[in-house]
Amino acid sequence: MHATVLKYFVEVARSGSVRKASEKLFVAASAVNRQILNLEEELGVELFDRLPNGLRLNPAGERLLRHVQATLHDFDVVRTEIDALKGERTGHVKVVSMDSLFVDVLPSVVEEFSRAYPAVTYTITSAQPMDVAAMVLSGQADIGCSFLGRLPAGVAAAAVAAMPLGIVMPPGHPLAAQESVSLADCARYPFMRSSASAAVTSAMCPEFATFWDETEPVATCTSTPMLKRLIIAGKGISCFSKIAFVDELTRGELVWRPFDLPALNGIEVGLLVPTHRAQQHVTQNFLARLTKRLKLLEATAAVL
């Protein structure tokens, strides 16, 4: 069987959905579905139970998955040994990122990249947005992921995606009925902060920086997953881009509304790299895949 078919099959089995698998693979859902149907036709048996909420492996599919995983593992081992002989596909990738990209973007890219480059090692660090550029400049990281502000000399944005800031809330919240929200609107309801310092500096939006400093939060938590659960539970509203909330927004578990401030609607996320030192080949490849994932997220968020 062709390696592409195996990869598609494993991703559909992992995701439980052709659509989700296609997003992970950066391939059209129709192409993924066609490969799965062709595989089932070749084997003469269905591999998945088609359920209203997705796909589930049946006994034949589970048996094939065990075989495929063993086959791919053995291939990775051999490839690593061959690469070691050639001195290729090795290296260390250092990334620093704001916390919201740890929910799905970075894990997805690392999972995908490690299958292609199994010998690569990683250092991936969470940091506040205002600290990311400095860590790239100092060499603590070779790639930074953060909201874009004024960059220091020696750091440039290799890729940019529009990711405006807005308010995340449960669907039944009073502000969910509005097309946009003001800072005065937010001040009337329990507000939760993702950090003590605002992700947006006073130079980018002085009104928001003042609101952040002067508002007494019901909770301050640097963990995006924990804040997400508190928002769903109705404990308060919070300020985020859509980066970490795509699944919840798609399912209707949460609602996102933009601010009525142009400065916040123009916020962008950048992938930052040093301009004064060369990047390893493996780091360049990782950056390319991270860029694809970020641009896919940008396109998805734009329609939510």
| Other beta carbons less than 10 A from residue 217's beta carbon | 15
Is residue 11 predicted with pLDDT exceeding 70? yes
- Please state which CATH class domain 3-86 belongs to: mainly alpha
Question: Residue 287: which pLDDT band, with cuts at 50, 70 and 90?
Answer: very high
CATH of the structural domain 166-265, one choice from 3.40.190.10, 3.10.180.10, 3.40.50.300, 3.40.50.1100: 3.40.190.10
Please, where in the chain does CATH 3.40.190.10 lie? 95-162+268-302, 166-265
pLDDT, one tens digit per residue, over 70-98 is: 777 677 667 666 666 665 567 889 999 99
The residue with tokens 């051999």 is: 78
Q: Return the pLDDT at 118.
A: 85
d(Cα 116, Cα 80) in Å, to the nearest integer?
A: 10
Q: What percent of the chain has pLDDT over 70?
A: 94
Average pLDDT, the chain: 89
d(Cα 233, Cα 220) in Å, to the nearest integer?
A: 16
- Mean pLDDT over 232-240 rounds to 95
CATH of domain 95-162+268-302: 3.40.190.10
Q: Return the pLDDT at 88.
A: 57
Please name the amino acid found at residue 140.
Q
- Of 16-25, 118-127, 135-144, 159-168, the poorest mean pLDDT is in 16-25
Q: Return the pLDDT at 73.
A: 66
